[in-house]
Structure 1
Amino acid sequence: MTRKYETIFIINPELSEEETKALVEKIKGTIEASAQLESIDEWGKRKLAYPIDHFNEGYYVLANFTADSNFPRELERIFRITDGIIKDIIVKREK
């Protein structure tokens, strides 16, 4: 059964522009390989509400996708093991 999901992930602000773009493309490719990517929106660098790993700002990326119910768990695992991602969240969207 497929469902609609939304994820926001925050990238280390100290990465170069090329490293940030490569990381966004990697996550985009991961989503496209197992799900249907609806949209990806790069918000850019923004101030964090509270420090995360001694960072006060981060590079925000929002992605909307449709996937089977087991894919978000795998995507979460990939976020955790990927260097450069300091925070992430995946939520199920209402129809």
Structure 2
Amino acid sequence: MRSYETIFVLHPSLDEEAVKANIEKFKGVIENNGGEVENVDVWGRRKLAYEIAKVNEGTYTLINFKAGAELPKELDRVFRITDGVIRHIIINPESK
């Protein structure tokens, strides 16, 4: 299993319950596909560096996890089809 980090930005129109539900959804994708969530760090609402689709702020969340090589592809797919996700990135911090 490899270490990964993902950071995603949720739309500011989502209320606190919807943000928590999305975080649990992404944790569930990781855990249900053989991964292990190590840390979840909710950074809260912050201003974006640049405007995306007329939105200039969002709720940032960082998740550190361990998983096999195929899980990031599935997680990326789920991020892309989830309404409310403005941006996301999944990296392997060990491969520099």
Bin the TM-score by the shorter chain. over 0.9
Pairs aligned (count): 94
For residues 7-47 of structure 1, the C-alpha deviation after alignment (integer angstroms, 9 at most, x for no partner) is 00000011111111111111111112121111110000000
Equivalent residue, structure 1, for 2:89: 89
SS of alignment partner, residue 46 of structure 2: strand
Alignment of structure 1 residues 4-83 onto 2, 5 Å: 4-34=3-33, 35-83=35-83
- Name segments (4+ residues, structure 1) moved above 4 Å: none
Q: Which runs of 5+ in 2 are unaligned?
A: none
Deviations 1:31-89 (A, max 9, x none): 12121111110000000000112110000000001111111011000000001111000
Q: Could you tell me how far apart the structure 2 residues matched to 1:20 and 1:37 are?
A: 18
User: Normalising by the residue count of structure 2, what TM-score does the alignment of the two structures yield?
Assistant: 0.92
The answer for unaligned runs of 5 or more in structure 1 is none
Structure 1 vs Structure 2 CA RMSD: 1.1
